[in-house]
């Protein structure tokens, strides 16, 4: 009997996805004689039974390509938006597709949202495994995610390049990285690129403290400053408002909860231009001209770094071994130089933030980099 597996990519794309598809597929074919079906556009393609057979030719020549050859989407498997105002629970349809193809496993390459979806599918009996991809590096229970190294490289290059123009014009350069609600990218690129200030969501900032650190640099003879700020960075005042709303959600009953959640969304929407506001406040407080660079999706594009290719490749080949052993319901996690199958229950719904005692923070403080606190 032919052994068949499915593979899909879900959530935001990330460099290294194609390297992982290739690794899972080649290892499954070569070591175990399995057939590989690639489902299109993430869980949506699984629900709609849209797939292609991935033979060895399809898996060749994609190692270095950015994006995902399979396409991706952001959906919730239990609430699929039909585009006409209606939602459906897609899990039954997905299970039928898995049964129709007699899939031994479905491999999902994704981040924290994908782990949540995967757990919901495991709960309805689908044999599922995930691999940790995201530029945010925020998946719990794995040392690192693929995509992060490439994004950090791109953001570091931006910080490098901003140095010379900041120097020429004696300006404050504020550069915003992605990272959703965590600060790994801003911290990593800020350190590697030699930023003077690094602001991350884990450490709410005091804008006056940031301005004072820039003024102190100026007084000491440095005529420019580079501020690396994570998109999720938050001021101390806003963090206090957010925390009090979250506390109210925890104790409220349903109708009140929904209205607080709505207010919270409005609050987050209003914070969306936070980096622009930050730059103009710093300009006002220091009297130094400031400019903003928002790196955005450029951090997700292009060819993966060697470190991301290696990570995606070793996790992908290990995944094929786990499938062959009959292991599912797990994240294939990187632990040092080894891989581990971690139950999805331990991963889904958790976010790996930068711990406040992380060595990178300690290193930044030793260098005199201001962290806004």
Name the residues annotated as catalytic: 136
Chain positions 177 to 206 lying near ligand F6P, rule: CB under 6 A, are 178-180
Spell out the residues 6+ positions from residue 27 whose beta carbon is closer than 8 angstroms to its own: 316, 317, 319, 320, 321
Neighbours of 152 (CB within 10 A): 27
Torsion sign over Cα 73, 75, 81, 82: positive
Q: Contact between 22 and ligand F6P (CB under 6 A)?
A: no
Beta strand ranges found along 212-369 (DSSP E):
225-230, 290-294, 330-335, 338-343
Instruction: Give the CA angle between residues 263, 139, 32 to the nearest 5°.
Output: 140
Q: How far is the CB of 135 from ligand F6P (least distance, A)?
A: 5
The DSSP annotation for 191-253 comes to: HHHT-SEEE-TTS-B-HHHHHHHHHHHHHTT---EEEEEETT--BHHHHHHHHHHHHHHHHS-
For ligand F6P, the closer CB: 69 or 126: 69
Residue range at the interface with ligand F6P (CB under 6 A); choices 23-31, 48-56, 176-184, 337-345: 176-184
Q: Contact between 149 and ligand F6P (CB under 6 A)?
A: no
Among residues 134, 290, 293, 317, the one that binds ligand F6P under rule CB under 6 A: 134
Q: Contact between 136 and ligand F6P (CB under 6 A)?
A: yes
From residue 202 to residue 231, the character string flagging contacts with ligand F6P as x (rule: CB under 6 A) and all else as - is -----------------------------x
For ligand F6P, the closer CB: 104 or 136: 136
Q: How far is the CB of 155 from ligand F6P (least distance, A)?
A: 11
Among residues 6, 7, 10, 12, the one that binds ligand F6P under rule CB under 6 A: 12
The DSSP annotation for 2-34 comes to: --EEEEEE-SS--TTHHHHHHHHHHHHHHHH--
* Contact indicator for 167, 199 with CB cutoff of 8 Å: no
Residue range at the interface with ligand F6P (CB under 6 A); choices 172-180, 200-208, 215-223, 311-319: 172-180
Q: How far is the CB of 104 from ligand F6P (least distance, A)?
A: 29
Q: How far is the CB of 373 from ligand F6P (least distance, A)?
A: 23
* Contact indicator for 174, 278 with CB cutoff of 8 Å: yes
Chain positions 238 to 257 lying near ligand F6P, rule: CB under 6 A, are none
For ligand F6P, the closer CB: 21 or 154: 154
* Contact indicator for 20, 313 with CB cutoff of 8 Å: yes
* Contact indicator for 7, 36 with CB cutoff of 8 Å: yes
Q: Contact between 135 and ligand F6P (CB under 6 A)?
A: yes
- Assigned token pair, 11: 């959530």
Binding-residue total with ligand F6P (CB under 6 A):
10
Residue range at the interface with ligand F6P (CB under 6 A); choices 32-40, 54-62, 131-139, 325-333: 131-139
Among residues 91, 133, 300, 314, the one that binds ligand F6P under rule CB under 6 A: 300
For ligand F6P, the closer CB: 72 or 290: 72
**Residue ranges that bind ligand F6P, judged by CB under 6 A:** 12, 111, 134-136, 178-180, 231, 300
């Amino acid at each position: 009997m032919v052994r068949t597996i499915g593979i899909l990519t879900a959530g935001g794309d990330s460099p290294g996805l194609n390297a992982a598809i290739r690794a899972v597929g080649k290892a499954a074919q070569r070591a175990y004689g399995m057939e590989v079906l690639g489902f299109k556009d993430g869980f949506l393609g699984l629900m709609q039974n849209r797939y292609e057979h991935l033979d060895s030719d399809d898996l060749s020549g994609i190692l270095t390509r950015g994006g995902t050859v399979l396409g991706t989407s952001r959906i919730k498997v239990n609430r699929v938006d039909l585009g006409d105002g209606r939602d459906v629970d897609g899990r039954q349809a997905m299970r039928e597709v898995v049964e129709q193809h007699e899939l031994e496993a479905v491999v999902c390459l994704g981040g924290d949202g994908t782990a949540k979806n995967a757990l919901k599918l495991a709960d309805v009996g689908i044999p599922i495994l995930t691999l940790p991809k995201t530029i945010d590096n925020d998946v719990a229970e794995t040392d690192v995610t693929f995509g992060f190294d490439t994004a950090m490289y791109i953001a570091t290059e931006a910080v490098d390049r901003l140095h010379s123009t900041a120097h020429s014009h004696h300006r404050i350069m504020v550069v915003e990285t992605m990272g959703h609600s965590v600060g790994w990218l801003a911290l990593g690129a800020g350190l590697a690129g030699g930023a003077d200030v690094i602001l991350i969501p884990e450490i709410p900032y005091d804008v006056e403290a940031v301005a004072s650190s820039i003024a102190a640099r100026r007084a000491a003879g440095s005529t420019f400053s580079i501020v690396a700020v994570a998109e999720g960075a938050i001021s101390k005042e806003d963090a206090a408002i957010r925390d009090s709303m979250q506390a109210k959600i925890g104790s409220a009953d349903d109708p009140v909860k929904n209205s607080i959640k709505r207010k919270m969304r409005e609050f987050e929407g209003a914070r969306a231009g936070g980096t622009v506001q930050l730059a103009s406040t710093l300009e006002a407080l220091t009297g130094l001209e400031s400019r903003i660079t928002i790196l955005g999706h450029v951090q997700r594009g292009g060819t993966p770094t060697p470190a991301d290719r290696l990570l995606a490749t070793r996790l992908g080949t290990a995944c094929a071994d786990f499938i062959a052993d009959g292991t599912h319901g797990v994240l294939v996690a990187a632990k040092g130089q080894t891989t581990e199958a971690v139950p999805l229950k331990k991963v889904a719904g958790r976010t790996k933030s930068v711990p406040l005692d992380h060595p990178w923070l300690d290193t930044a403080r030793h260098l005199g980099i201001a962290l806004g606190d």
